[in-house]
A and B are shown apart, each in its own frame.
Chain A
Amino acid sequence: GAGVSQTPSNKVTEKGKYVELRCDPISGHTALYWYRQSLGQGPEFLIYFQGTGAADDSGLPNDRFFAVRPEGSVSTLKIQRTERGDSAVYLCASSFNMNTEAFFGQGTRLTVV
């Protein structure tokens, strides 16, 4: 596609439920990033993929968060046992490689009630 695509755009879930957020990067981009943005704050890094492997997952807040990129293209961010504090906009970005600028998707707004 022309840009980074994220689905769904909005997700409301109940506390304790499991959610999956999807990211389709720009075709040909080998690097993929997940960030989380709370209201009034800048994005915070979660995880970075180079190809299929998670090269840096140091930003994942705890073991309820997990992300995969099995074929080196689409990525899924998975959150288990969601908590109200997980409510935020989850942003995905991709870049041609780790030395070029990253392009962001529109984000998925997650609300845990």
Chain B
Amino acid sequence: SQELEQSPQSLIVQEGKNLTINCTSSKTLYGLYWYKQKYGEGLIFLMMLQKGGEEKSHEKITAKLDEKKQQSSLHITASQPSHAGIYLCGADFRGANSKLTFGKGITLSVRP
């Protein structure tokens, strides 16, 4: 969707390196959801952000939503091969989780 842009389009990193991927909206978000998808599989929920300036962490993944609620970043510390996959951000533009608009996704490869 042009309402939601993800960057970079793809990323290859060496195992152990840190990385950051981004999700930028053309409109203010009510909520931002990060999912991970392995090829041919469903989406795995990672994190949900709803407040400006909010930051959440789980294991080695940290997601942030900026104060204006238009941009989110996902940071992975000390990447591992298990982090490889497609990272999708989904935007709630309406104030209810009933209809998410997704970006095209970022393909992450981690070289052992």
- What are the residues of chain A within 8 A of B96 when measuring CB–CB? 98-99
> A101: CB under 8 A from chain B?
yes
Q: How large is the interface on A (under 10, 10 to 19, 20 to 34, 35 or more residues)?
A: 20 to 34
Interface hits, A54-68 → B, CB 8 Å: 55-56, 58-59
- What are the residues of chain A within 8 A of B48 when measuring CB–CB? 101
CA distance A65 to B104 in the complex (A): 24
- What are the residues of chain B within 8 A of A106 when measuring CB–CB? 41-42
- What are the residues of chain A within 8 A of B45 when measuring CB–CB? 101-104
Whether B100 contacts A45 by the Cβ 8 Å rule is: yes
> A25: CB under 8 A from chain B?
no
CA distance A91 to B35 in the complex (A): 13
Whether A42 contacts B104 by the Cβ 8 Å rule is: yes
CB distance from A54 to the nearest CB of B (A): 11
CA distance A31 to B4 in the complex (A): 24
Chain A interface residues toward B at CB < 8 A: 4, 31, 33, 35, 40-45, 48, 50, 55-56, 58-59, 91, 93, 95, 98-107, 109
Chain B interface residues toward A at CB < 8 A: 1, 4, 33, 35, 40-45, 48, 88, 90, 96-105
